[in-house]
Structure 1
Amino acid sequence: MIEKALICTTENLIPYRNLALEEYLMDTVPEKTCILYLWRNQNTVVIGRNQNCWKECRVKELEADGGHLVRRLSGGGAVFHDLGNLNFTFLVRKSDYDVSRQLDVILHAVSACGIHAEKSGRNDVTVDGRKFSGNAFYFSGQSAYHHGTILIDVDKEKAGKYLSVSAEKIRSKGVDSVRSRIANLNEFSPGLTVDRMERELCEAFGRVYGIKPELLPAESVDASRVEELRRKFADPAWIYGQNIPFNCEFSSRFDWGGVEIGLQVRGGLIAASQVDSDAMDEEFIRRVAPCLTGCPFSSEVAAKRLQAEFAADSEERQQYAQDIERLLYEQQF
């Protein structure tokens, strides 16, 4: 049960430190406490933990314009951030994790601005069917976080310029483009600013949790640990990932996300594998590639390995595994 509500804000606009502070807050959140962390990034594309940056983002264009590419810990898809977007993160112990309650804070804040919003699909919040907030989730040890965007006055032309969304994913959303799918809240509440939304979020946080929020003391943050984490998020090896030459590649989109599998086959064995996905369950995706690596190059054997790997997991994960097993059988290798 939450007994203390803390608010953390930052003036920093560089994504590597912002994500570092987010991870630090997750690692150190006390029991019975919920931290609401509010932050912004300047001209940034943030990709999901298991995504291929070269397929999700026009990296050269972004970097030529002085933008930043960063890979987050959570799953899900790529998003564009600029100063017209306000990011939020709820950080709690797993025992206090409550997505419905956390989303109520967002819905109450938006309602206070005269806008009726609703949760849609697996991770979106929309107004009139158009997305202004995409959400993702991450669990580690005893802690968890739920974070997302709130588009207030984002440059949608830049979002369309830098994000390289597959035609299949666009079709699955029933829209024609990235720009037509997303909405800025100031379209529904003219004159709405990021500053006002930040104030409304802080007030809604207190109302929903029934606790007067306090500011997180700056001196409680270990700057050296945050810097260590910043270096991790800024490391090109973390951002860009491995560049494995695959000789067998295939993909599919399921209702829980898209999957792209690359296999490097040598001497009848899968010598290396990589699985890219915008699935929300980032841990599930991370477990698939090690399961395939070292396996004989056989659809049947690979599918059976996958089945065994997730046999003791939740029904939901077993269904994910079955979908990939069918994809493996379809390749007939």
Structure 2
Amino acid sequence: MFTRRQTFQLFAGAAAVLGLPSLARAQDTAKEFRIGWQKGGVFALAKNSGALEARLAARGVTVSWAEFTSGPPLLEALGAHAIDFGSTGDVPPLFAHAAGGDLVYVAATPGSLDGSAILVKQDSPVQTIADLKGKRVAFKRGSSSHNFIVKALRTVGLTLDDITPLDLGPPDAAPAFANNQIDAWVIWDPYYAIAAQDPDTRVLATTEGIVDSYGFYQANGAYAKENPTILAEVIDELRKVGTAAQTDLDATAAAISASTGVPTDITRITLGRKAADLGAILPLDAEIIAYQQALADEFYDLKIIPRQLNVADAVWQAPAI
């Protein structure tokens, strides 16, 4: 039986699954492709190199970029037709779909095993996850960190009701953490890697052994329906960019840093996380859909999202051959 990470090798050449053989049959009419991105990753490489611009130039399609600090506002923009495409962790799509946003899952990427962490101060009395009881814990509601803290607390028999949760995105949480206004911060890379360099910061726990998750590439539903082959070409190009980047991570770190402004040494740390792979962009198979459906069911049962979701209904279908 294949693990989810071995599954990537089965789909490394899966252009056919994404509909690329049928490109000639498409009647895509869009002349713009608007991307929402967060600092880092394959988007930074593609933006810096102009790979997507070059790929879509033959179609007369221009590319524009809008930066976001977290997944929830990115998907709000995506669902509202303000952008056409982007990627986030596993939780933001649940909130976006529950709110009625018009978006679809296009592809998935396995998350690194240790790319998020719960951070505390070196002199904090919090020594274990159980010690978070009654403490002020910051995380962005509706982000992948929301899932992480739920599951981390569960490992010690606690729930969100046992802490004082604070809904803070990275721009607000970082100074709050630095100024001791919160007791713990649940955060992802590159913000995690940046904060961890401060000798006054201690890593209480990482996602390893607690959350083994996926990130998702998503598109506006109407755009995906009307322009399927543009979307297929973009996914194919991002996979090529990511796969090439894995061959020289030092050079890749420098290239990403040039695009994001995050120091090269910090970026190199994020690229070296366990099981990190920029080229691992997968079609949504039954296993991945089942993972996301289980998460949707869990968040509904916990009353974190207001309605039940059927993930399969929001999975993009490639053009028919």
With structure 2 as the length reference, what TM-score do the two structures score? 0.24
Bigger relative contact order, structure 1 or 2 (CA pairs below 8 A, ≥6 apart)? 2
Going by fraction, where is strand more abundant, 1 or 2? 1
TM-score, normalised to structure 1's length? 0.23
